[in-house]
Amino acid sequence: MRFSINEVEYEHRIERVRKTLAKRRLDALYLTNGASMFYLTGYHFISTERPAALVIPVDGKIAFLGPSLEQEHVPLETRLIEEIKTYLDYPGERHPIKHFANFLEELGLAKKRIGSDSSSGAFGMWGYSGPKLAKELPEARFVDASDLIPKMRVIKSAAEIDLVRESAKWANLSVSLLQEYTAEGLWDANVALDASNETSLIMKRTLGFDYVPKRNVYAVSVGFRGQIGEMSAIPHSIATRRMIKRGDVVIAESGVDVGGYTCELERTMIVGKPSSKHKRYFEAMVKAQDAAFEAFKPGAKCSDVDKATVSAFKKAGLMDLVKHHTGHGLGLEVHEPPWLDIGNDEPLRTGMVVSCEPGIYEIGFAGFRHSDTILITEDGAEIITYYPRNLEELTIERRD
Amino acid sequence: MRFSINEVEYEHRIERVRKTLAKRRLDALYLTNGASMFYLTGYHFISTERPAALVIPVDGKIAFLGPSLEQEHVPLETRLIEEIKTYLDYPGERHPIKHFANFLEELGLAKKRIGSDSSSGAFGMWGYSGPKLAKELPEARFVDASDLIPKMRVIKSAAEIDLVRESAKWANLSVSLLQEYTAEGLWDANVALDASNETSLIMKRTLGFDYVPKRNVYAVSVGFRGQIGEMSAIPHSIATRRMIKRGDVVIAESGVDVGGYTCELERTMIVGKPSSKHKRYFEAMVKAQDAAFEAFKPGAKCSDVDKATVSAFKKAGLMDLVKHHTGHGLGLEVHEPPWLDIGNDEPLRTGMVVSCEPGIYEIGFAGFRHSDTILITEDGAEIITYYPRNLEELTIERRD
């Protein structure tokens, strides 16, 4: 199947997990994080209050433990899971975690050392409560292994990078359509849904029936998330009350699911003629991003990139307007390690994929942030997203 | 402000929290669950790897601890939070949880008994890792209070019920448009985005500028989530590869954010002329839902409702096709307590709002599930959602 990771690569990942388990003298891995489960199998499910886990023994069959509504879903998405053990529903006449204790016993793990990413045995969503798995299986030894899969996920393979690259193409189209559709007098949510819908349709027509989003209901999510006018100064705003008007700074964001992976592409745009203050802030932001691009050098640390943007904003006299660090890893989750943060002295490594998105925010005025997706290479970095970054091309003129 | 809970009600909720804290001999509540924080303040934020918490002392000011990008967002959404204490970003030169230990000290809580809904002090999203708050504040005593807010949330107030009722109107419109737009040869995702977009636009025009979704980027989310044809037999499918075709069973789902609350409305539809097998399964599902409606009686338990649908499916000889229980609480989260589950002997109580959605699923054929939103009343129950439930009105005929 195209537009997804192939089975051989999943097998290699599982082989690496088994080697690490052996090294740590663990008999099995017990995983509850959905993104990590997808990373190892290609199977994605909707995490709810219903406990679910992937069990990878050093020797023996890979098992999925979960609710019965996933029973037939698993084999549709992966052939790597060979055992599926389910309970009817949560909380049930008998609690799912008690079933899980039995399932682990059936898998021969009742008295073994099990690495886990959950201290309770469940992911714990939406009002879940229940006994701890370790208590239900007193002869097993549970060991924290929550670092194991995230450490693997931080370096992307060639196939993963290809998916992020494919994602970047469609993100580019989506932001292009979003910019084209944006105009004063419109609600940002409608412009966003139009551009998301149109891009999804073109994508489906272009890539054909093989293409389907793997971890998201919709292929494309492009929009402003409420970052319109003064609300663009609130980086995590949700929605706006009013229509787009002349003079608004708007921040566009796009993500596109290709094989479960996505790039991140964000652009600051101005509706109408930019003021001199708009220009000053916009240019300072672009310069800070340029400084970050320069800082992705062989041998550099994650913190060096953040320091480069801090230094650029200080030089511009705008450091007071900084509200977050320079970027984060991405791929399967919206944010994931590594963090481009002043406190993270981890070295940049070839195959890391990160966002680069220094921003400034003046309350009552506007926010300014572009985000590009960066691949760390042996020579430095490659900018995977490629939408125009300059003010001229990001100015939305009134249509007459 | 209309279309949201008013400040006085939030103050009442906080008063109740304080009384419960006093009863449990706790000096403060430390909350990390976003939905519960919204429930107490009307302030919603996007949960990420960045730790955030709401602190409600028995005496003293309500405080928000979180990343600096939320600093100015908080007062835009609520006046109830009087202290905002922030760190720049995660992981930072100093870990946010270490900042939180200081913040709690500044709030006079360093040596107090603190009820908490998190064993670590953080919500723990997206690759978060860090020290435990209890370790950083060794003289404080942390006590599990993860039940406190969920117990309050389970009974809805008159104002909350009004918001769910308003949500049901727009969900009805959205499913109506979805049904109208659905036709063979179309991709379900595009039909879904069209209906979501159109409903949002009509809603905004109708309710005016006061209306804004509070906890979701988009007002309306209506669609099939991949439940098309054979994939309708996978209740938690994500997306489909192929276009809608004649003979497909499709399951429509809608949620609409009004003041942060939503109803749940789902309908099974058939594209083209239903077969006798379609009819048999459809009628069995409707009968099971009728049986559940009957079971919402004063004095009944949550499990009684589930037993009623099990009994109806057994009578129809279709119990083998059941993959989940009858329903769940709803309001702020997609699923929340109480569970209409055979294992939950909790009594139904006036003011509970639950989904009622017995379903059957035959792999390779189709799934059948309607979901309605039910308010438990003194006399029994009121069905808040009102879209047609019969096969005739849910049959989508070819347009000539």
**B96 CA: distance to closest CA in chain A (Å):** 11
Query: Per the structure block, which two tokens stand in for A379?
Result: 């020579």
CB-based contact, A236 to chain B, within 8 Å: yes
Q: Using CB atoms, which residue from B70, B219, B339 is nearest to A90?
A: B339
CB-based contact, B189 to chain A, within 8 Å: yes
Please identify which residue in the block is written with the tokens 């999203």. Answer: B125
pLDDT tens-digit series, residues B27-71: 999 999 999 999 999 999 999 999 999 999 999 999 999 999 999
**B29 CA: distance to closest CA in chain A (Å):** 17
Q: Using CB atoms, which residue from A213, A236, A341 is nearest to B89?
A: A341
Rounded CA gap, B303 and B312, in Å? Answer: 14
What range defines the domain where residue B21 resides?
Answer: 7-152
- Residue A400 predicted with pLDDT over 60: no
**pLDDT number for residue A81:** 98
Q: A361 to chain B: which residues are within 8 Å by CB?
A: 69
- Residue A75 predicted with pLDDT over 60: yes
Residue A268 included in any domain: yes
Could you tell me whether strands B366-369 and B359-362 are parallel, antiparallel, or unpaired per DSSP bridges? antiparallel
Q: Is residue B148 domain-shared with residue B273, that is, in the same domain?
A: no
CB-based contact, A72 to chain B, within 8 Å: yes
Which pLDDT band, with edges at 50, 70 and 90, does A277 fall under? very high
Is the CB of A189 less than 8 angstroms away from the CB of B219? yes
Decide: B26 and B57 in contact? Cβ < 8 Å.
no
pLDDT tens-digit series, residues A180-197: 999 999 999 999 999 999
Residues 38-57 of A with CB under 8 A from B: 44-46, 48-49
Q: Using CB atoms, which residue from B189, B217, B344 is nearest to A238?
A: B217
Decide: B319 and B283 in contact? Cβ < 8 Å.
no
Among the listed residues B20, B22, B21, B28, the one whose alpha carbon sits nearest the alpha carbon of residue B108: B28
3-state secondary structure of A362: strand
Q: Using the 3D structure, point to which of A152, A170, A194 is the last residue of a domain.
A: A152
Which pLDDT band, with edges at 50, 70 and 90, does B127 fall under? confident
The DSSP letter of residue B90 is S
Rounded CA gap, B331 and B149, in Å? Answer: 14
Decide: A100 and A90 in contact? Cβ < 8 Å.
no
pLDDT (mean) for B334-363: 98
Among the listed residues A293, A268, A228, the one whose alpha carbon sits nearest the alpha carbon of residue A391: A268
Rounded CA gap, B66 and B89, in Å? Answer: 9
Lowest mean pLDDT among A56-70, A336-350, B117-131: B117-131
How many other CB atoms sit within 10 Å of the CB of residue A179?
A: 21
Is the CB of B68 less than 8 angstroms away from the CB of A363? no
**pLDDT number for residue B399:** 57
- Residue A351 predicted with pLDDT over 60: yes
The CA-based angle A316-A321-A323, given to 5 degrees, is: 125
Rounded CA gap, A89 and A70, in Å? Answer: 11
Question: pTM higher than 0.95, yes or no?
Answer: yes
Residue A191 included in any domain: yes
**pLDDT number for residue A125:** 87
SS3 content of chain B, % helix, strand, coil (to 5): 35, 20, 45
pLDDT (mean) for B154-180: 98
- Residue A14 predicted with pLDDT over 60: yes
Q: Is residue A119 domain-shared with residue A213, that is, in the same domain?
A: no
Decide: A110 and A95 in contact? Cβ < 8 Å.
no
Is the CB of B127 less than 8 angstroms away from the CB of A150? yes
Query: Per the structure block, which two tokens stand in for B291?
Result: 């049986």
The CA-based angle B182-B188-B189, given to 5 degrees, is: 130
**pLDDT number for residue B2:** 78
Residues 115-154 of B with CB under 8 A from A: 119, 126-127, 129, 146-147, 150
Q: Is residue A171 domain-shared with residue A147, that is, in the same domain?
A: no
Is the CB of B215 less than 8 angstroms away from the CB of A238? yes
pLDDT tens-digit series, residues A77-117: 999 999 999 999 999 999 999 999 999 999 999 999 999 99
Residue B2 included in any domain: no
Please identify which residue in the block is written with the tokens 């649908």. Answer: B309
Query: Per the structure block, which two tokens stand in for B296?
Result: 């919402």
Decide: A53 and A65 in contact? Cβ < 8 Å.
yes
**pLDDT number for residue A209:** 82
Measured between CA atoms, the residue of chain B closest to residue A194 is: B197
Q: Is residue B171 domain-shared with residue B307, that is, in the same domain?
A: yes
DSSP secondary structure of A169-206:
HHHHHHHHHHHHH--TTS-HHHHHHHHHHHHHHHHHHH
Is the CB of B212 less than 8 angstroms away from the CB of A129? no
Is the CB of B216 less than 8 angstroms away from the CB of A193? no
| Cβ-based neighbours of A170, under 8 Å, separated by 6 or more | A199, A203, A219, A220, A256, A258
- Torsion sign, CA atoms B68, A372, A363, A229: negative
Residue A2 included in any domain: no
Measured between CA atoms, the residue of chain A closest to residue B335 is: A126
Q: Using the 3D structure, point to which of B152, B168, B195 is the last residue of a domain.
A: B152
Residue to substitute from B238, B332, B353, interface A, most A β-carbons within 10 A: B238
**pLDDT number for residue B350:** 98
Q: Using the 3D structure, point to which of A95, A119, A152 is the last residue of a domain.
A: A152
- What are the CA-CA distances from residue A157 to residues A160, A255, A377, B69 (Å)? 5, 20, 12, 32
Q: Is residue B388 domain-shared with residue B356, that is, in the same domain?
A: yes
**pLDDT number for residue A399:** 57
Task: List the CATH number of the domain containing B141.
Answer: 3.40.350.10
**pLDDT number for residue A398:** 67
- Residue A1 predicted with pLDDT over 80: no
**pLDDT number for residue A343:** 97
Q: A93 to chain B: which residues are within 8 Å by CB?
A: 342-343
3-state secondary structure of A79: coil
Residue B389 included in any domain: yes
3-state secondary structure of A267: strand
Distance of CA B173 to the CA centre of its chain: 20
Rounded CA gap, A393 and A267, in Å? Answer: 11
pLDDT (mean) for B170-180: 98
pLDDT (mean) for A148-170: 97
Q: Is residue A64 domain-shared with residue A103, that is, in the same domain?
A: yes
Q: Is residue B170 domain-shared with residue B298, that is, in the same domain?
A: yes
Rounded CA gap, A344 and A339, in Å? Answer: 7
**pLDDT number for residue B330:** 98
Decide: A374 and A355 in contact? Cβ < 8 Å.
yes
pLDDT (mean) for B90-114: 98
- Residue B275 predicted with pLDDT over 60: yes
Q: B91 to chain A: which residues are within 8 Å by CB?
A: 339, 341, 343-344
CB-based contact, A21 to chain B, within 8 Å: no
Count Cβ–Cβ pairs < 8 Å, chain A vs chain B: 202
Number of domains in chain B: 2
pLDDT (mean) for B383-397: 97
How many other CB atoms sit within 10 Å of the CB of residue B2?
A: 11
Q: Is residue A192 domain-shared with residue A325, that is, in the same domain?
A: yes
Q: Is residue B233 domain-shared with residue B364, that is, in the same domain?
A: yes
Which pLDDT band, with edges at 50, 70 and 90, does B194 fall under? very high
Q: Using CB atoms, which residue from B92, B235, B239 is nearest to A217?
A: B239
Half-sphere exposure of A262 (CA within 13 A, CB side): 25
Task: List the CATH number of the domain containing A202.
Answer: 3.90.230.10
Measured between CA atoms, the residue of chain B closest to residue A216 is: B238
Q: Is residue B39 domain-shared with residue B164, that is, in the same domain?
A: no
CB-based contact, A185 to chain B, within 8 Å: no
Is the CB of B72 less than 8 angstroms away from the CB of A46? no
Element containing residue A359 per DSSP (H, E): strand A359-362
Could you tell me whether strands A372-376 and A381-383 are parallel, antiparallel, or unpaired per DSSP bridges? antiparallel
Which pLDDT band, with edges at 50, 70 and 90, does B398 fall under? low
Please report, to the nearest 10 degrees, the dihedral formed by the alpha carbons of residues B156, B161, B163, B165 taken in order.
150
Residue A82 included in any domain: yes
**pLDDT number for residue A210:** 85
**pLDDT number for residue A267:** 98
pLDDT (mean) for B351-375: 98
CB-based contact, B237 to chain A, within 8 Å: yes
Rounded CA gap, B151 and A29, in Å? Answer: 34
pLDDT (mean) for A43-53: 96
Q: Is residue B204 domain-shared with residue B147, that is, in the same domain?
A: no
CB-based contact, B208 to chain A, within 8 Å: no
Look up the ipTM and state it.
0.95
The DSSP letter of residue B399 is P
Residue A69 included in any domain: yes
Residue A209 included in any domain: yes
In terms of phi and psi (left: phi > 0; alpha: psi -120 to 50; beta: otherwise), the region of B272 is: left
Rounded CA gap, B209 and A343, in Å? Answer: 42
Query: Per the structure block, which two tokens stand in for B285?
Result: 């599902």
Residues 303-362 of B with CB under 8 A from A: 322-325, 328-329, 333-337, 339, 341-344, 361
Decide: B235 and B336 in contact? Cβ < 8 Å.
no
**B74 CA: distance to closest CA in chain A (Å):** 10
Q: Is residue B333 domain-shared with residue B201, that is, in the same domain?
A: yes
Is the CB of A209 less than 8 angstroms away from the CB of B241? yes
**Average pLDDT over all residues of chain A:** 96
Among the listed residues B202, B162, B174, B197, the one whose alpha carbon sits nearest the alpha carbon of residue B2: B162
